A = this chain, B = another copy of it.
């Protein structure tokens, strides 16, 4: 099997290539808080195992084998996050670091049974889709709240920033997954947004928050 470090690199490359397609050494180094030279060493190893496509100086992408492993790890990460929130009553801002460890528990059988135990959830506590046991999943088309216009309405369905401070802020403002919102005003000066929650509660959020909140229309 693969080492913990290898798994983390594959997962990282998977996430980065969602945006970019081809991923650079420096992007990986920044994302993993490591040095570019360490990344190069690992890329050689992953290329030897045919888990990535790699040519010197040209960046990397996952092979089908590498992608399969990455998706498997993401499945485990999100299922454990769901477990921690739904069964052990953690808050959505507390579970990521624990899931970072738990995603490396190797048993497939274990994760499939966990999936079944929880009723095959489709989304993790942050709105991210959970791949099924074949690695299949469809990501809903979500737009940053900042791209909506006045009077548009939609459902909060994901976040682009998974950090605790952001998630805690959202929780406090009741801006949680599943809530319906309607844009009431956009302040031109600073691009901040006024919006209405259910129960007619009015909220005012900054451009930065609006950028990191994902909405299904």
List the interface of chain A (C-beta within 8 A of B): 84, 87-90, 97-98, 101-102, 104-107, 110, 113-114, 117
Contacts and interface: CB of A to CB of B under 8 A. Distances in A.
Number of copies: 2
B98 A105 contact: yes
Contacts of A87: 117
17 contacts: A84-B110, A87-B117, A88-B113, A88-B114, A88-B117, A89-B113, A90-B113, A97-B107, A98-B105, A98-B107, A98-B110, A101-B104, A101-B105, A101-B106, A101-B107, A102-B102, A102-B105
A2 to B, nearest CB: 14
Contacts of A117: 87-88
Contacts of A113: 88-90
Nearest to A114: B88
A165 to B, nearest CB: 19
Contacts of A101: 104-107
A87 B117 CA distance: 7
Given A84-B110, A88-B114, 12 more contacts: A88-B110, A88-B113, A88-B117, A90-B113, A97-B107, A98-B105, A98-B110, A101-B104, A101-B105, A101-B106, A102-B102, A102-B105
